[in-house]
């Protein structure tokens, strides 16, 4: 029997249970991401959002359940190979090489695509020149797409926080993923920076056809760019649907977002106008 399952979805989580000691972080969690969509995962602090990315990425091992990516079951040892299967990610807290240039940081994202060692690529040894040129061309394409060309030789630590987050996105793209996992790509940004990164995320999705699973607290931006929204609360899924469905979902509107805004009930209109951090 083949281990390949027909891929109706690009990513499918089925009945995932994840615990750390006695604390159960994800409870029978199931949801799917379709090829080509931007799916947002929202929920309050500690809801389990980053844990979802960590299990898809193979960093955490769920005790129960299945993760199916492009028809392949990722549970257990295969999960660690998610990068080879076409899954790339960014981190909630910046994880760049701060003292290296933008170019070198993005080059590190090419590791899996390079036929040679990272050191060889960085040192540009003659025997590896051809491969290095190929890597460099790809990186330049990505820098252009994300309007980072002018910063290519800047040391990362000299850049604004918003630009550093964009460099992290560039590095993840350098792996040429089929699915991009973004853990709070707009955290700590002002509205203008958020709008800018939101446009880049849409560009990556539309121009490169990369599917995106994104964690984001700013519900305004989520509703603006997502095709699909999954809402988590205490490790449980409480809503799953289009941005429009979610805006009208009674559990999200009343009990959940309503609590954040005070005792007043929240209307979908208010929700899309207000910047609500959950
Ligand atoms: N490696 C770990 N060891 C122990 N507990 C963990 C670990 N990772 C996550 N947790 C716990 O799991 C719960 C969910 O954490 P997670 O980081 O997934 O939440 P989150 O929804 O991403 O929150 P935030 O919005 O604050 O980033 C928290 O209670 C957290 O303390
Ligand atoms: Mg998190």
pLDDT at 255 over 50: no
pLDDT tens for residues 155-171?
A: 999 999 999 999 999 99
Please tell me the distance from the alpha carbon of residue 30 to that of residue 153, in angstroms, as a whole number: 43
Residue 9 and residue 80 share a domain:
yes
User: Separation of 9 CA from ligand 1 center, angstroms?
Assistant: 26
In a domain, 74, yes or no: yes
CB atoms under 10 Å from CB of 256, counted, come to 20
Among 10, 38, 85, CA closest to 201: 38
Instruction: State which ligand 1 atom lies nearest to the alpha carbon of 48.
Output: 18
At residue 134 the predicted structure's pLDDT band, cuts being 50, 70 and 90, is confident
Residue 144 covered by a domain? yes
Is residue 88 pLDDT above 60, yes or no?
A: yes
Q: Of 120, 152, 176, which residue is a domain's last?
A: 176
Beta-sheet strand order (sheet of 87-89): 87-89, 179-183, 211-215, 38-42, 228-233, 236-241
Structure confidence at residue 126 as a pLDDT band (50, 70, 90):
low
Q: Kindly give the residue spans of alpha helices, DSSP state H, lying in the chain.
A: 49-56, 82-85, 102-108, 118-123, 129-145, 161-173, 191-208, 219-225, 243-248, 250, 259-261, 268-273
Residues 142 and 64 in one domain: no
Quick check: is 77 in a domain? yes
Does position 63 have pLDDT exceeding 70, yes or no? Answer: yes
Examine the domain organization and report whether 106 and 239 are in the same domain. Answer: no
Residue 21 CA: which ligand 1 atom is closest? 4
**Same-domain status, 184 and 266:** yes
Report the range of poorest mean pLDDT among 54-68, 99-113, 122-136: 122-136
Q: Ligand 1, residue 215: give the atom nearest the CA.
A: 22
Q: Which residue matches tokens 């009208």? A: 248
Q: Which of 8, 37, 13, 40 is nearest to 26 (CA)?
A: 13
**Ligand 1 centroid, distance to 3 Cα (angstroms):** 31
Please report the pLDDT score of residue 3 as a whole number: 46
24, 25, 234: which to mutate for ligand 1, most atoms within 8 A of CB?
A: 25
Structural domain total, the chain: 2
Q: Is 235 near ligand 1, meaning CB less than 6 Å away?
A: no
pLDDT for 230 beyond 70: yes
Q: pLDDT class for 270, splitting at 50, 70, 90?
A: low
Ligand 1 atom nearest the C-alpha of 43 is: 21
- What is the 215 CA–ligand 1 centroid distance (Å)? 13
User: Does residue 186 have a pLDDT over 90?
Assistant: yes
**Residue 2, pLDDT above cutoff 60:** no
Average confidence score pLDDT of the chain: 84
pLDDT at 83: 78
Q: Looking at residues 258-275, what average pLDDT do you find? A: 52
Measured distance CA(70)–CA(86) in Å, rounded: 9
And the tokens for 70? 């492009």
Q: Are residues 62 and 184 in the same domain?
A: yes
Q: Which of 128, 152, 176 is the last residue of a domain?
A: 176
Residue 21: inside a domain, yes or no?
Answer: yes
Q: Residue 224 maps to which CATH number?
A: 3.40.50.300
More confident residue, 179 or 78: 179
Identify whether residues 79 and 106 lie together within a single domain.
no
* 273 and 186 belong to one structural domain: yes
**Nearest C-alpha to atom 31 of ligand 1 is from which residue?**
46
Q: Indicate whether 167 belongs to any domain.
A: yes
- Contact 45 CB / ligand 1 (< 6 Å): yes
Provide the residue range defining the domain that includes 277. 1-86+179-192+213-278
- Quick check: 109 pLDDT over 60? yes
The verdict on residue 57 lying in a domain is yes
Same domain, 114 and 243: no
The answer to whether position 207 is within a domain reads no
Q: Contact at 8 Å (CB) between 80 and 145?
A: no
Residue 18 clears pLDDT 90, i.e. is over it: yes
Same domain, 70 and 187: yes
**What mean pLDDT is predicted for residues 245-259?**
67
Please indicate, yes or no, if residue 202 is contained in any of the structural domains: no
The answer on 232 and 149 residing in a single domain is no
Residue nearest to atom 12 of ligand 1 (CA): 25
pLDDT for residue 229 is more than 50: yes
C-alpha to C-alpha distance for 167 and 50, rounded to whole angstroms: 20
**Same domain assignment for residues 184 and 270:** yes
Q: For ligand 1, atom 16, which residue shows the shortest CA distance?
A: 48
- pLDDT exceeding 70 applies to what percent of the chain? 80
| One domain for residues 12 and 147 | no
Q: Which of 23, 49, 51, 217 to mutate to test the pocket of ligand 1 (most atoms within 8 A of CB)?
A: 51
Closest residue by CA, ligand 1 atom 6:
20
């Amino acid at each position: 029997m083949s281990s390949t399952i027909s891929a109706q979805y690009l990513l499918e989580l089925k009945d995932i249970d994840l615990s750390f000691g006695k604390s159960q972080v994800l409870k029978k969690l199931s949801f799917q991401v379709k090829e080509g969509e931007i799916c947002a995962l929202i929920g309050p602090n500690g809801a389990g959002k980053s844990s979802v990315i960590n299990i898809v990425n193979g960093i955490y091992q769920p005790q129960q359940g299945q993760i199916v990516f492009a028809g392949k079951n990722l549970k257990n040892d295969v999960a660690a190979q998610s990068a080879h299967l076409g899954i790339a990610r960014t981190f909630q807290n910046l994880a760049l090489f701060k003292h290296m240039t933008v170019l070198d940081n993005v080059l590190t994202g090419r590791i899996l695509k390079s036929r040679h060692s990272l050191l060889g690529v960085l040192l540009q040894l003659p025997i590896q020149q051809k491969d290095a040129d190929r890597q460099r061309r790809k990186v330049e394409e990505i820098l252009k797409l994300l309007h980072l060309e002018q910063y290519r030789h800047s040391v990362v630590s000299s850049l604004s926080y918003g630009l550093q987050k964009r460099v992290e996105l560039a590095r993840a793209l350098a792996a040429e993923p089929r699915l991009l996992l973004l853990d709070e790509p707009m955290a700590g940004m002002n509205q203008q920076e958020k709008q800018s990164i939101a446009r880049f995320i849409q560009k990556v999705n539309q121009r490169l056809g990369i599917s995106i699973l994104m964690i984001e607290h700013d519900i305004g931006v989520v509703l603006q760019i997502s095709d699909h929204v999954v809402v988590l609360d205490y490790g449980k899924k409480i809503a799953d649907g289009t941005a429009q469905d979610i805006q009208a979902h009674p559990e999200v509107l009343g009990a959940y977002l309503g609590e954040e805004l005070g005792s007043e009930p929240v209307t979908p209109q208010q929700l899309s106008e207000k910047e609500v951090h959950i």
